Amino acid sequence: MSNCKIDHSSEDVKKKLQEQSPFLNTKLVEKCLLFLSTDTSQTELNELFHLLKKYDLSTDEEKNVRNQKIEVLISN
């Protein structure tokens, strides 16, 4: 994902997750919500936001890559 100079709040990320949830696996959405309910660093918030950004416009291959990156991020 591209590097962005904007810090995204937890609320920004939750909103983006809600917008993209129709295109994501339900279990992954639940895991993301659980992850966001914990003490999450700014770096993690930014990374998750950008993995979710334009998810719906991604190819299936890109979605698989993003899903794997999301799983790694939220499992740490």
pLDDT > 70 in the chain, percent: 96
What are the extents of the domains in the chain?
10-75
Task: Answer yes or no: are the C-beta atoms of 54 and 19 closer than 8 Å.
Answer: no
Q: Tell me the pTM.
A: 0.91
Distance CA 21, CA 33 (A): 11
Distance CA 44, CA 59 (A): 24
pLDDT on residue 1: 45
The mean per-residue pLDDT over the stretch 20-24 comes to: 97
Task: Answer yes or no: are the C-beta atoms of 32 and 17 closer than 8 Å.
Answer: yes
Provide the 8-state DSSP code for 23: G
